[in-house]
Structure 1
Amino acid sequence: MATLQDFKNNVKPNWCPGCGDYAVQMALQKAAVQLGMKPYELALVCGIGCSGRLSGYIYAYGMHTTHGRALPFAQGLKIANPELNVIACGGDGDGMAIGMGHTFHAIRRNINLTYVLMDNHVYGLTKGQTSPRSDLGFKTKTTPTGNIETPVSTLEMALAAGVTFLAQGFSPQLQELTDLIVAAVKHPGFSLVNVFSPCVTFNKVNTYEWFKDKLVDVKDIAEYDNSDKGAVLNQVLEHEGLLTGLLHQNLKKPSYEELSGLSKNNQMQSVKKLAPEVFDKLVKNFY
Protein backbone atom coordinates (compact mmCIF):
# COMPACT_ATOMS: atom_id res chain seq x y z
CA MET A 1 0.00 0.00 0.00
CA ALA A 2 1.29 3.46 -0.91
CA THR A 3 2.33 5.89 1.81
CA LEU A 4 2.36 9.67 2.00
CA GLN A 5 6.03 9.64 1.05
CA ASP A 6 5.20 7.89 -2.24
CA PHE A 7 3.26 10.97 -3.38
CA LYS A 8 6.09 13.38 -2.60
CA ASN A 9 8.82 14.45 -5.01
CA ASN A 10 11.95 16.57 -4.70
CA VAL A 11 10.37 19.72 -6.16
CA LYS A 12 10.10 22.47 -3.55
CA PRO A 13 6.90 24.56 -3.86
CA ASN A 14 7.57 28.24 -4.50
CA TRP A 15 4.34 29.54 -2.97
CA CYS A 16 4.62 32.38 -0.49
CA PRO A 17 5.12 31.34 3.15
CA GLY A 18 1.67 30.94 4.68
CA CYS A 19 -0.14 30.31 1.37
CA GLY A 20 -3.25 28.18 1.79
CA ASP A 21 -2.27 26.02 -1.16
CA TYR A 22 0.33 24.14 0.91
CA ALA A 23 -2.48 22.59 2.94
CA VAL A 24 -4.47 21.76 -0.20
CA GLN A 25 -1.44 19.90 -1.55
CA MET A 26 -1.13 17.94 1.69
CA ALA A 27 -4.86 17.17 1.71
CA LEU A 28 -4.65 15.78 -1.83
CA GLN A 29 -1.69 13.59 -0.90
CA LYS A 30 -3.37 12.34 2.29
CA ALA A 31 -6.59 11.65 0.38
CA ALA A 32 -4.73 9.60 -2.23
CA VAL A 33 -3.24 7.47 0.54
CA GLN A 34 -6.60 7.03 2.29
CA LEU A 35 -8.14 5.92 -0.99
CA GLY A 36 -5.43 3.30 -1.43
CA MET A 37 -4.13 4.82 -4.66
CA LYS A 38 -0.71 4.26 -6.13
CA PRO A 39 1.01 7.23 -7.82
CA TYR A 40 0.41 5.78 -11.30
CA GLU A 41 -3.32 5.58 -10.58
CA LEU A 42 -3.67 9.35 -10.03
CA ALA A 43 -3.62 12.12 -12.62
CA LEU A 44 -3.59 15.79 -11.58
CA VAL A 45 -4.67 18.24 -14.27
CA CYS A 46 -4.07 21.89 -13.41
CA GLY A 47 -4.69 25.29 -14.94
CA ILE A 48 -2.71 28.52 -14.68
CA GLY A 49 -2.08 30.46 -11.50
CA CYS A 50 -0.53 29.67 -8.14
CA SER A 51 -2.84 26.66 -7.80
CA GLY A 52 -1.75 25.38 -11.21
CA ARG A 53 1.67 24.51 -9.86
CA LEU A 54 0.20 21.61 -7.89
CA SER A 55 0.66 19.16 -10.76
CA GLY A 56 4.43 19.52 -10.40
CA TYR A 57 4.56 19.18 -6.63
CA ILE A 58 2.86 15.80 -6.20
CA TYR A 59 4.38 12.56 -7.45
CA ALA A 60 1.70 11.32 -9.85
CA TYR A 61 0.77 11.88 -13.47
CA GLY A 62 0.50 15.62 -14.03
CA MET A 63 -0.65 18.03 -16.72
CA HIS A 64 -0.12 21.79 -16.54
CA THR A 65 -2.62 23.12 -19.05
CA THR A 66 -3.56 26.49 -20.49
CA HIS A 67 -5.45 29.16 -18.56
CA GLY A 68 -8.98 28.06 -17.68
CA ARG A 69 -8.73 24.84 -19.69
CA ALA A 70 -7.91 22.24 -17.03
CA LEU A 71 -11.37 20.67 -17.21
CA PRO A 72 -11.44 19.96 -20.98
CA PHE A 73 -8.08 18.18 -20.62
CA ALA A 74 -9.27 16.33 -17.52
CA GLN A 75 -12.50 15.19 -19.17
CA GLY A 76 -10.63 13.91 -22.21
CA LEU A 77 -8.18 12.07 -20.01
CA LYS A 78 -10.94 10.43 -17.98
CA ILE A 79 -12.88 9.36 -21.06
CA ALA A 80 -9.73 7.92 -22.68
CA ASN A 81 -8.65 6.08 -19.53
CA PRO A 82 -11.55 5.62 -17.09
CA GLU A 83 -9.38 3.55 -14.75
CA LEU A 84 -7.39 6.65 -13.78
CA ASN A 85 -8.41 8.76 -10.80
CA VAL A 86 -8.52 12.21 -12.38
CA ILE A 87 -8.43 15.32 -10.21
CA ALA A 88 -8.46 18.76 -11.82
CA CYS A 89 -7.14 21.72 -9.84
CA GLY A 90 -7.47 25.45 -10.38
CA GLY A 91 -8.10 28.79 -8.77
CA ASP A 92 -11.03 31.19 -8.79
CA GLY A 93 -9.23 33.34 -11.37
CA ASP A 94 -8.89 30.22 -13.52
CA GLY A 95 -12.16 28.32 -13.18
CA MET A 96 -14.48 31.24 -12.47
CA ALA A 97 -13.12 33.63 -15.12
CA ILE A 98 -11.80 32.45 -18.49
CA GLY A 99 -12.71 28.87 -17.55
CA MET A 100 -16.25 29.56 -16.33
CA GLY A 101 -17.90 28.04 -19.40
CA HIS A 102 -15.85 24.86 -19.06
CA THR A 103 -16.68 24.62 -15.36
CA PHE A 104 -20.43 24.95 -15.98
CA HIS A 105 -20.54 22.37 -18.76
CA ALA A 106 -18.25 19.91 -16.96
CA ILE A 107 -20.69 20.00 -14.04
CA ARG A 108 -23.63 19.53 -16.42
CA ARG A 109 -22.01 16.51 -18.14
CA ASN A 110 -21.36 14.78 -14.81
CA ILE A 111 -18.21 12.98 -15.94
CA ASN A 112 -16.68 11.00 -13.08
CA LEU A 113 -13.84 13.27 -11.98
CA THR A 114 -13.07 15.71 -9.17
CA TYR A 115 -12.41 19.45 -9.44
CA VAL A 116 -10.61 21.10 -6.52
CA LEU A 117 -11.04 24.86 -6.84
CA MET A 118 -8.77 27.03 -4.66
CA ASP A 119 -10.54 30.30 -3.90
CA ASN A 120 -8.45 33.21 -2.59
CA HIS A 121 -10.60 36.04 -4.02
CA VAL A 122 -7.67 37.52 -5.98
CA TYR A 123 -5.25 36.94 -8.86
CA GLY A 124 -2.09 36.04 -6.95
CA LEU A 125 0.42 34.84 -9.55
CA THR A 126 0.15 38.09 -11.52
CA LYS A 127 0.71 40.08 -8.32
CA GLY A 128 -2.72 41.06 -7.07
CA GLN A 129 -5.60 41.96 -9.36
CA THR A 130 -9.35 41.70 -8.82
CA SER A 131 -10.76 38.24 -9.61
CA PRO A 132 -14.39 37.26 -10.31
CA ARG A 133 -14.58 36.23 -6.65
CA SER A 134 -13.32 39.53 -5.20
CA ASP A 135 -15.77 41.22 -2.85
CA LEU A 136 -17.43 44.54 -3.60
CA GLY A 137 -15.14 47.39 -2.58
CA PHE A 138 -12.01 45.21 -2.69
CA LYS A 139 -9.01 47.37 -3.60
CA THR A 140 -6.28 46.05 -5.89
CA LYS A 141 -3.92 47.36 -8.55
CA THR A 142 -6.74 47.12 -11.11
CA THR A 143 -9.41 48.50 -8.76
CA PRO A 144 -7.60 51.17 -6.69
CA THR A 145 -10.90 52.80 -5.68
CA GLY A 146 -12.61 49.48 -4.92
CA ASN A 147 -14.25 46.70 -6.92
CA ILE A 148 -17.67 47.67 -8.30
CA GLU A 149 -18.52 44.28 -9.88
CA THR A 150 -20.70 41.77 -8.03
CA PRO A 151 -18.64 38.66 -7.23
CA VAL A 152 -19.51 35.33 -8.82
CA SER A 153 -21.08 32.79 -6.46
CA THR A 154 -19.36 29.49 -7.20
CA LEU A 155 -21.85 27.53 -5.13
CA GLU A 156 -24.94 29.08 -6.72
CA MET A 157 -23.50 28.52 -10.19
CA ALA A 158 -22.71 24.88 -9.44
CA LEU A 159 -26.18 24.19 -8.07
CA ALA A 160 -27.77 25.87 -11.10
CA ALA A 161 -25.69 23.65 -13.39
CA GLY A 162 -26.98 20.53 -11.63
CA VAL A 163 -23.89 19.54 -9.67
CA THR A 164 -24.19 16.08 -8.09
CA PHE A 165 -21.49 16.58 -5.45
CA LEU A 166 -20.67 19.95 -3.94
CA ALA A 167 -18.39 20.50 -0.97
CA GLN A 168 -16.53 23.44 0.49
CA GLY A 169 -13.48 23.38 2.71
CA PHE A 170 -11.06 25.75 4.44
CA SER A 171 -7.38 25.00 3.85
CA PRO A 172 -6.17 25.03 7.50
CA GLN A 173 -8.88 22.53 8.44
CA LEU A 174 -6.75 19.77 6.97
CA GLN A 175 -8.57 16.67 8.16
CA GLU A 176 -12.00 17.91 7.07
CA LEU A 177 -10.59 18.95 3.69
CA THR A 178 -8.95 15.55 3.26
CA ASP A 179 -12.21 13.79 4.11
CA LEU A 180 -14.12 15.96 1.63
CA ILE A 181 -11.67 15.12 -1.16
CA VAL A 182 -11.92 11.41 -0.33
CA ALA A 183 -15.73 11.60 -0.50
CA ALA A 184 -15.52 13.57 -3.75
CA VAL A 185 -13.32 10.99 -5.47
CA LYS A 186 -15.62 8.18 -4.34
CA HIS A 187 -18.68 9.97 -5.73
CA PRO A 188 -19.95 8.43 -9.02
CA GLY A 189 -20.00 11.58 -11.13
CA PHE A 190 -18.57 15.09 -11.25
CA SER A 191 -17.56 16.40 -7.84
CA LEU A 192 -16.63 19.99 -7.02
CA VAL A 193 -14.66 20.83 -3.89
CA ASN A 194 -14.31 24.58 -3.45
CA VAL A 195 -11.56 25.47 -0.97
CA PHE A 196 -11.04 28.81 0.72
CA SER A 197 -7.25 29.05 0.41
CA PRO A 198 -6.12 32.51 1.61
CA CYS A 199 -3.52 34.55 -0.25
CA VAL A 200 -1.39 36.09 2.49
CA THR A 201 0.48 38.42 0.12
CA PHE A 202 -2.14 40.12 -2.05
CA ASN A 203 -5.36 39.76 -0.07
CA LYS A 204 -5.24 41.44 3.32
CA VAL A 205 -9.04 41.36 3.70
CA ASN A 206 -10.10 37.72 3.28
CA THR A 207 -7.51 36.39 5.73
CA TYR A 208 -7.39 33.21 7.80
CA GLU A 209 -8.92 35.07 10.74
CA TRP A 210 -11.63 36.59 8.51
CA PHE A 211 -12.73 33.14 7.35
CA LYS A 212 -12.51 31.63 10.84
CA ASP A 213 -14.89 34.29 12.15
CA LYS A 214 -17.44 33.85 9.38
CA LEU A 215 -17.49 30.22 8.24
CA VAL A 216 -20.29 27.92 9.40
CA ASP A 217 -20.00 24.13 9.24
CA VAL A 218 -23.17 22.54 7.84
CA LYS A 219 -22.93 19.95 10.62
CA ASP A 220 -23.88 22.74 13.00
CA ILE A 221 -27.05 23.63 11.07
CA ALA A 222 -30.09 21.86 12.49
CA GLU A 223 -31.77 19.39 10.11
CA TYR A 224 -29.44 20.26 7.23
CA ASP A 225 -30.30 17.95 4.32
CA ASN A 226 -27.62 17.82 1.63
CA SER A 227 -29.89 15.84 -0.69
CA ASP A 228 -32.45 18.67 -0.90
CA LYS A 229 -31.08 20.99 -3.58
CA GLY A 230 -33.59 23.76 -2.91
CA ALA A 231 -32.92 23.75 0.82
CA VAL A 232 -29.17 23.75 0.17
CA LEU A 233 -29.51 26.79 -2.08
CA ASN A 234 -31.48 28.59 0.62
CA GLN A 235 -28.70 27.91 3.13
CA VAL A 236 -26.06 29.10 0.65
CA LEU A 237 -27.98 32.34 0.16
CA GLU A 238 -28.63 32.82 3.88
CA HIS A 239 -24.95 32.36 4.79
CA GLU A 240 -23.63 34.20 1.70
CA GLY A 241 -21.74 31.08 0.62
CA LEU A 242 -19.65 30.96 3.80
CA LEU A 243 -20.32 27.30 4.59
CA THR A 244 -18.03 24.31 4.97
CA GLY A 245 -18.66 20.60 4.66
CA LEU A 246 -20.53 18.38 2.21
CA LEU A 247 -23.12 20.83 0.94
CA HIS A 248 -24.99 18.76 -1.64
CA GLN A 249 -24.96 15.25 -3.05
CA ASN A 250 -27.28 13.68 -5.61
CA LEU A 251 -26.80 9.94 -6.05
CA LYS A 252 -29.79 9.50 -8.35
CA LYS A 253 -28.38 11.17 -11.46
CA PRO A 254 -26.36 8.73 -13.60
CA SER A 255 -22.85 9.71 -14.63
CA TYR A 256 -21.80 10.51 -18.19
CA GLU A 257 -19.94 7.19 -18.32
CA GLU A 258 -23.03 5.21 -17.33
CA LEU A 259 -25.21 6.90 -19.94
CA SER A 260 -22.64 6.64 -22.74
CA GLY A 261 -21.21 3.22 -21.97
CA LEU A 262 -17.69 4.65 -22.06
CA SER A 263 -16.82 3.18 -18.66
CA LYS A 264 -16.78 -0.24 -20.32
CA ASN A 265 -14.41 0.87 -23.07
CA ASN A 266 -10.89 1.77 -21.98
CA GLN A 267 -9.40 3.55 -24.98
CA MET A 268 -5.88 3.08 -23.62
CA GLN A 269 -6.08 -0.69 -23.91
CA SER A 270 -6.06 -0.39 -27.69
CA VAL A 271 -2.96 1.83 -27.76
CA LYS A 272 0.13 0.00 -28.96
CA LYS A 273 2.93 0.29 -26.43
CA LEU A 274 6.30 1.63 -27.55
CA ALA A 275 9.31 -0.63 -27.44
CA PRO A 276 11.60 0.35 -24.52
CA GLU A 277 14.40 1.46 -26.84
CA VAL A 278 12.04 3.73 -28.81
CA PHE A 279 10.65 5.22 -25.60
CA ASP A 280 14.16 5.91 -24.27
CA LYS A 281 15.14 7.59 -27.53
CA LEU A 282 12.10 9.89 -27.42
CA VAL A 283 12.58 10.81 -23.77
CA LYS A 284 16.25 11.70 -24.33
CA ASN A 285 15.11 14.58 -26.53
CA PHE A 286 13.91 16.37 -23.39
CA TYR A 287 17.05 16.24 -21.25
Structure 2
Amino acid sequence: MSDNKILVDVNNLKKHFSKGKDIWGRNTSVLKAVDGVSFQIRQGETFGLVGESGSGKSTVGRCLLRLYDYTDGEVSFDGQPLSKLGEKQLKPFRRRIQSIFQDPYSSLNPSLSVLDLISEPMKIHGIHEGDERIEAVAALLDKVGLKREHLYRFPHEFSGGQRQRISIARALSVKPEFVVCDEPISALDVSVQAQVVNMLEDLQSEFGLTYLFVAHDLSMVRHISDRIGVMYGGRLVEVAGSDELYENPIHPYTKALLSSILETDPKRANQRIILDGYSAEYGRAETSTLQEVSPGHYVAYDFTE
Protein backbone atom coordinates (compact mmCIF):
# COMPACT_ATOMS: atom_id res chain seq x y z
CA MET A 1 0.00 0.00 0.00
CA SER A 2 2.80 2.42 0.85
CA ASP A 3 4.11 2.22 -2.76
CA ASN A 4 0.79 3.37 -4.24
CA LYS A 5 0.52 6.94 -5.44
CA ILE A 6 -1.39 9.59 -3.53
CA LEU A 7 -4.81 9.88 -5.18
CA VAL A 8 -6.50 12.37 -2.81
CA ASP A 9 -4.57 15.15 -1.05
CA VAL A 10 -6.47 17.30 1.47
CA ASN A 11 -4.48 20.32 2.63
CA ASN A 12 -5.68 22.60 5.47
CA LEU A 13 -9.30 22.22 4.40
CA LYS A 14 -11.76 24.63 6.01
CA LYS A 15 -15.52 24.90 5.60
CA HIS A 16 -17.33 27.55 7.64
CA PHE A 17 -21.07 28.20 7.60
CA SER A 18 -22.73 31.51 8.45
CA LYS A 19 -25.13 31.25 11.39
CA GLY A 20 -26.63 34.68 10.85
CA LYS A 21 -26.18 38.12 9.26
CA ASP A 22 -26.73 41.68 10.44
CA ILE A 23 -28.72 44.32 8.54
CA TRP A 24 -25.65 45.08 6.38
CA GLY A 25 -25.31 41.45 5.32
CA ARG A 26 -22.23 40.77 7.39
CA ASN A 27 -21.81 37.44 9.17
CA THR A 28 -22.60 37.81 12.87
CA SER A 29 -21.42 34.30 13.79
CA VAL A 30 -19.75 31.42 12.00
CA LEU A 31 -19.92 27.66 12.46
CA LYS A 32 -16.50 26.14 11.78
CA ALA A 33 -17.67 22.73 10.59
CA VAL A 34 -14.24 21.82 9.20
CA ASP A 35 -11.34 23.86 10.47
CA GLY A 36 -7.93 23.02 9.04
CA VAL A 37 -8.02 19.31 8.13
CA SER A 38 -5.13 17.69 6.23
CA PHE A 39 -4.68 14.06 5.15
CA GLN A 40 -3.85 11.95 2.11
CA ILE A 41 -5.44 8.85 0.65
CA ARG A 42 -3.36 6.48 -1.45
CA GLN A 43 -4.73 4.68 -4.47
CA GLY A 44 -6.44 1.43 -3.55
CA GLU A 45 -6.75 2.05 0.19
CA THR A 46 -9.71 2.75 2.46
CA PHE A 47 -9.36 5.77 4.73
CA GLY A 48 -11.89 5.68 7.57
CA LEU A 49 -13.14 8.90 9.14
CA VAL A 50 -14.81 8.67 12.56
CA GLY A 51 -16.10 11.01 15.21
CA GLU A 52 -19.26 11.93 17.03
CA SER A 53 -22.20 13.66 15.33
CA GLY A 54 -21.25 17.22 14.45
CA SER A 55 -17.52 16.53 14.30
CA GLY A 56 -17.40 17.54 10.61
CA LYS A 57 -16.64 14.18 9.00
CA SER A 58 -19.57 14.22 6.54
CA THR A 59 -18.76 17.82 5.63
CA VAL A 60 -15.25 16.71 4.71
CA GLY A 61 -16.75 14.10 2.38
CA ARG A 62 -19.03 16.64 0.72
CA CYS A 63 -16.09 19.00 0.22
CA LEU A 64 -14.15 16.21 -1.48
CA LEU A 65 -17.11 15.75 -3.83
CA ARG A 66 -17.22 19.54 -4.41
CA LEU A 67 -20.83 19.58 -3.23
CA TYR A 68 -19.59 22.38 -0.97
CA ASP A 69 -17.16 25.12 -1.96
CA TYR A 70 -14.30 25.43 0.50
CA THR A 71 -13.79 28.39 2.80
CA ASP A 72 -10.04 27.81 2.61
CA GLY A 73 -7.52 25.10 1.85
CA GLU A 74 -7.40 22.73 -1.08
CA VAL A 75 -8.41 19.27 -2.20
CA SER A 76 -6.36 17.75 -5.01
CA PHE A 77 -7.40 14.65 -6.93
CA ASP A 78 -4.67 12.82 -8.84
CA GLY A 79 -2.54 15.97 -8.58
CA GLN A 80 -5.27 18.34 -9.84
CA PRO A 81 -6.54 21.04 -7.41
CA LEU A 82 -10.36 21.06 -7.53
CA SER A 83 -11.28 24.36 -5.90
CA LYS A 84 -10.74 26.54 -8.98
CA LEU A 85 -12.53 24.27 -11.46
CA GLY A 86 -15.91 25.29 -12.88
CA GLU A 87 -18.72 22.82 -13.53
CA LYS A 88 -17.60 22.15 -17.11
CA GLN A 89 -14.03 21.47 -15.98
CA LEU A 90 -15.29 19.34 -13.09
CA LYS A 91 -17.32 16.99 -15.31
CA PRO A 92 -14.42 14.56 -16.01
CA PHE A 93 -13.71 14.41 -12.28
CA ARG A 94 -17.39 13.78 -11.48
CA ARG A 95 -17.03 10.50 -13.35
CA ARG A 96 -13.87 9.55 -11.44
CA ILE A 97 -15.26 10.55 -8.02
CA GLN A 98 -18.59 9.06 -6.93
CA SER A 99 -20.57 8.83 -3.68
CA ILE A 100 -22.77 6.52 -1.62
CA PHE A 101 -24.96 8.37 0.88
CA GLN A 102 -26.44 7.39 4.23
CA ASP A 103 -30.12 7.11 3.36
CA PRO A 104 -30.62 5.06 0.19
CA TYR A 105 -34.30 5.98 -0.03
CA SER A 106 -33.84 9.76 -0.08
CA SER A 107 -30.87 9.49 -2.46
CA LEU A 108 -32.90 7.57 -5.07
CA ASN A 109 -35.56 9.29 -7.17
CA PRO A 110 -38.75 7.36 -6.31
CA SER A 111 -40.25 8.03 -9.75
CA LEU A 112 -37.46 6.29 -11.66
CA SER A 113 -37.02 2.58 -12.23
CA VAL A 114 -33.82 0.80 -11.23
CA LEU A 115 -32.75 0.78 -14.89
CA ASP A 116 -33.20 4.56 -15.16
CA LEU A 117 -31.52 5.24 -11.81
CA ILE A 118 -28.37 3.31 -12.66
CA SER A 119 -28.19 4.26 -16.34
CA GLU A 120 -28.68 8.01 -15.75
CA PRO A 121 -24.98 8.63 -14.91
CA MET A 122 -24.04 6.58 -17.98
CA LYS A 123 -26.15 8.87 -20.18
CA ILE A 124 -24.61 12.00 -18.65
CA HIS A 125 -21.07 10.76 -19.31
CA GLY A 126 -21.80 9.10 -22.66
CA ILE A 127 -21.17 5.51 -21.57
CA HIS A 128 -22.88 2.74 -23.59
CA GLU A 129 -26.01 3.06 -25.75
CA GLY A 130 -29.30 1.21 -26.13
CA ASP A 131 -29.24 -2.50 -25.39
CA GLU A 132 -25.57 -2.32 -24.44
CA ARG A 133 -26.48 0.06 -21.62
CA ILE A 134 -29.25 -2.25 -20.38
CA GLU A 135 -26.84 -5.17 -20.32
CA ALA A 136 -24.28 -3.07 -18.43
CA VAL A 137 -26.89 -2.19 -15.79
CA ALA A 138 -27.96 -5.84 -15.49
CA ALA A 139 -24.31 -6.83 -14.99
CA LEU A 140 -23.94 -4.22 -12.22
CA LEU A 141 -27.05 -5.55 -10.48
CA ASP A 142 -25.48 -8.98 -10.49
CA LYS A 143 -22.29 -7.52 -8.96
CA VAL A 144 -24.25 -6.07 -6.01
CA GLY A 145 -26.37 -9.15 -5.39
CA LEU A 146 -29.57 -8.19 -7.22
CA LYS A 147 -31.25 -9.77 -10.24
CA ARG A 148 -32.07 -8.80 -13.80
CA GLU A 149 -35.77 -8.98 -12.95
CA HIS A 150 -35.28 -5.94 -10.69
CA LEU A 151 -34.49 -3.64 -13.64
CA TYR A 152 -38.00 -2.28 -14.01
CA ARG A 153 -38.97 -2.03 -10.34
CA PHE A 154 -39.02 1.15 -8.28
CA PRO A 155 -37.23 2.06 -5.03
CA HIS A 156 -40.29 1.62 -2.80
CA GLU A 157 -40.44 -2.06 -3.81
CA PHE A 158 -37.11 -2.84 -2.15
CA SER A 159 -35.82 -3.20 1.40
CA GLY A 160 -33.30 -0.73 2.82
CA GLY A 161 -30.39 -3.05 2.16
CA GLN A 162 -31.50 -3.63 -1.44
CA ARG A 163 -31.90 0.12 -2.01
CA GLN A 164 -28.36 0.68 -0.80
CA ARG A 165 -27.15 -1.99 -3.23
CA ILE A 166 -28.88 -0.01 -6.01
CA SER A 167 -27.06 3.13 -4.82
CA ILE A 168 -23.76 1.27 -4.93
CA ALA A 169 -24.47 0.00 -8.45
CA ARG A 170 -25.30 3.56 -9.53
CA ALA A 171 -22.02 4.84 -8.08
CA LEU A 172 -20.10 2.15 -9.98
CA SER A 173 -21.94 2.72 -13.26
CA VAL A 174 -19.38 5.26 -14.53
CA LYS A 175 -16.36 3.20 -13.43
CA PRO A 176 -15.02 5.62 -10.80
CA GLU A 177 -11.63 5.48 -9.11
CA PHE A 178 -12.61 7.07 -5.80
CA VAL A 179 -15.85 6.63 -3.84
CA VAL A 180 -16.95 8.70 -0.82
CA CYS A 181 -18.98 6.36 1.39
CA ASP A 182 -20.88 8.71 3.70
CA GLU A 183 -22.23 6.48 6.48
CA PRO A 184 -23.42 3.89 3.94
CA ILE A 185 -24.52 1.32 6.52
CA SER A 186 -25.88 3.39 9.42
CA ALA A 187 -29.46 3.34 8.08
CA LEU A 188 -29.44 -0.42 7.54
CA ASP A 189 -30.44 -3.31 9.79
CA VAL A 190 -27.53 -4.78 11.74
CA SER A 191 -28.04 -8.11 9.98
CA VAL A 192 -27.44 -6.41 6.60
CA GLN A 193 -24.55 -4.10 7.52
CA ALA A 194 -21.84 -6.77 7.43
CA GLN A 195 -23.10 -8.03 4.06
CA VAL A 196 -22.84 -4.57 2.53
CA VAL A 197 -19.38 -3.92 3.99
CA ASN A 198 -18.11 -7.28 2.71
CA MET A 199 -19.54 -6.48 -0.70
CA LEU A 200 -17.79 -3.08 -0.73
CA GLU A 201 -14.51 -4.84 0.03
CA ASP A 202 -15.07 -7.33 -2.79
CA LEU A 203 -15.89 -4.53 -5.24
CA GLN A 204 -12.81 -2.61 -4.15
CA SER A 205 -10.63 -5.59 -4.87
CA GLU A 206 -12.28 -6.29 -8.24
CA PHE A 207 -12.33 -2.71 -9.56
CA GLY A 208 -9.29 -1.22 -7.79
CA LEU A 209 -11.40 1.35 -5.93
CA THR A 210 -10.24 3.85 -3.33
CA TYR A 211 -12.64 4.69 -0.48
CA LEU A 212 -13.22 7.43 2.04
CA PHE A 213 -15.41 5.59 4.56
CA VAL A 214 -17.28 7.90 6.94
CA ALA A 215 -19.09 6.10 9.75
CA HIS A 216 -20.27 5.98 13.36
CA ASP A 217 -19.82 2.24 13.76
CA LEU A 218 -16.29 2.05 15.12
CA SER A 219 -16.01 -1.73 14.97
CA MET A 220 -17.09 -1.80 11.32
CA VAL A 221 -14.66 1.01 10.43
CA ARG A 222 -11.80 -1.05 11.83
CA HIS A 223 -12.88 -4.00 9.71
CA ILE A 224 -12.90 -2.15 6.38
CA SER A 225 -10.24 0.59 6.81
CA ASP A 226 -6.50 0.54 6.18
CA ARG A 227 -6.02 3.82 8.06
CA ILE A 228 -8.38 5.83 10.26
CA GLY A 229 -8.65 9.51 11.08
CA VAL A 230 -10.45 10.68 14.25
CA MET A 231 -12.28 14.02 14.07
CA TYR A 232 -13.29 16.27 16.93
CA GLY A 233 -14.76 19.76 16.57
CA GLY A 234 -13.92 20.05 12.89
CA ARG A 235 -10.33 18.88 13.26
CA LEU A 236 -8.31 15.71 12.99
CA VAL A 237 -6.89 14.75 16.36
CA GLU A 238 -5.36 11.37 15.49
CA VAL A 239 -4.50 9.36 12.36
CA ALA A 240 -3.07 5.84 12.36
CA GLY A 241 -3.31 2.42 10.81
CA SER A 242 -6.53 0.64 11.71
CA ASP A 243 -5.10 -1.91 14.16
CA GLU A 244 -2.62 0.57 15.61
CA LEU A 245 -5.35 3.11 16.40
CA TYR A 246 -7.58 0.59 18.16
CA GLU A 247 -4.79 -1.12 20.07
CA ASN A 248 -2.72 1.96 20.94
CA PRO A 249 -4.92 5.11 21.00
CA ILE A 250 -3.04 8.16 22.29
CA HIS A 251 -5.30 11.20 22.16
CA PRO A 252 -7.81 11.33 25.05
CA TYR A 253 -10.72 11.92 22.67
CA THR A 254 -9.78 8.79 20.69
CA LYS A 255 -9.61 6.79 23.92
CA ALA A 256 -13.04 8.07 24.97
CA LEU A 257 -14.52 7.32 21.55
CA LEU A 258 -13.19 3.77 21.51
CA SER A 259 -14.42 3.17 25.05
CA SER A 260 -17.98 3.61 23.75
CA ILE A 261 -17.78 0.45 21.60
CA LEU A 262 -20.25 -2.09 22.92
CA GLU A 263 -18.62 -5.41 23.80
CA THR A 264 -20.80 -8.53 23.75
CA ASP A 265 -18.39 -10.37 26.06
CA PRO A 266 -18.81 -9.07 29.66
CA LYS A 267 -15.23 -10.05 30.47
CA ARG A 268 -13.96 -7.71 27.72
CA ALA A 269 -16.38 -4.87 28.38
CA ASN A 270 -14.82 -1.43 28.04
CA GLN A 271 -14.72 0.99 30.92
CA ARG A 272 -16.54 4.01 29.52
CA ILE A 273 -14.45 7.21 29.54
CA ILE A 274 -16.35 10.46 29.98
CA LEU A 275 -14.49 13.65 29.07
CA ASP A 276 -15.30 16.85 30.94
CA GLY A 277 -12.87 18.82 28.78
CA TYR A 278 -9.29 18.59 27.70
CA SER A 279 -6.26 19.30 29.85
CA ALA A 280 -3.97 22.17 28.97
CA GLU A 281 -1.95 19.79 26.78
CA TYR A 282 -4.93 18.70 24.70
CA GLY A 283 -7.46 21.56 24.94
CA ARG A 284 -8.79 23.40 21.91
CA ALA A 285 -6.58 25.97 20.20
CA GLU A 286 -6.68 28.18 17.12
CA THR A 287 -4.46 25.75 15.19
CA SER A 288 -3.76 22.04 15.39
CA THR A 289 -0.83 20.19 13.84
CA LEU A 290 -0.57 16.43 13.66
CA GLN A 291 2.80 15.16 14.86
CA GLU A 292 4.19 11.71 14.06
CA VAL A 293 4.69 9.77 17.31
CA SER A 294 5.55 6.46 15.62
CA PRO A 295 5.71 5.36 11.98
CA GLY A 296 2.35 6.23 10.40
CA HIS A 297 0.77 7.29 13.73
CA TYR A 298 -0.04 11.01 14.05
CA VAL A 299 -1.52 12.85 17.03
CA ALA A 300 -2.54 16.49 17.61
CA TYR A 301 -0.41 17.73 20.50
CA ASP A 302 -0.55 21.50 20.13
CA PHE A 303 -4.08 21.97 21.52
CA THR A 304 -4.19 24.47 24.40
CA GLU A 305 -6.99 25.79 26.56
TM-score by length of 2: 0.27
TM-score by length of 1: 0.28
Structure with the higher strand share, 1 or 2: 2
Structure showing greater radius of gyration is: 2
